[in-house]
Homo-oligomer: A and B are copies of this chain.
Amino acid sequence: MNMDKNKGDEKRVTLVLFSGEMDKALAAFTIANTAAAMGMQVTIFFTFWGLNVIKRPGRGRGGRGWMRRMLNWMNRGNARSLPLSKFNFAGLGPWMMKRLMREQRMLPLEEMIAQAHKLGVNMLACSTSIGLMGLSKDDFIPEVETIAGAATFLNEARQAEVNLFI
């Protein structure tokens, strides 16, 4: 009997999304939304460059001090404007990828995020990265309800069957 894997059929997935690249974000949300649709409880912890995936368009470019402003200006972007980790070609790659996805009737990333929210995927933004970059809750899309630290992530992760760092 496989007791440990059947705690009332409740299974958990936690993903750390560290990368701010379109292809990795697509992988993360494909896994998250599939797991949620299968009835699993899913948490995504957005940290470092991964925060770009949940930035509100046009926001998050400021911050206290010239270094933060420079970093945040260079690091601007949101779900609609992420680079590819390969073959980015100044945005040509992502443009082509989006066309191929549409042709395959795949949802674009921003709609996968909305779908994740509807499916009950829990999205947490990393407080340490946010502090470092001088961002605030308002810089993120409303689907992200909680800003939390590594301890909150670990508390979820140690109860989860599937943990991935993306």
- List residues of chain A with CB under 8 Å of any chain B CB: 2-5, 7, 11, 13, 16, 18, 20, 23-24, 27, 30-31, 34-35, 38, 40, 47-49, 65, 67-68, 70-71, 74-75, 85-87, 96-97, 99-101, 103-104, 106, 128, 131-133, 149-151, 153-155, 157-166
Whether B87 and A151, one on each chain, are in contact in the complex, defined by CB atoms closer than 8 angstroms, is no
* Residue from B5, B85, B131 in contact with A159 in the complex, judged by beta carbons closer than 8 Å: B5
Whether A162 and B166, one on each chain, are in contact in the complex, defined by CB atoms closer than 8 angstroms, is no
Residue from A2, A4, A162 having most chain B Cβ neighbours under 10 A: A162
Minimum CB–CB distance from A147 to chain B (whole Å) comes to 15
Residues of B contacting A68 in the complex (Cβ-Cβ under 8 angstroms): 100
In whole angstroms, how far apart are the Cα atoms of A155 and B128 in the complex? 32
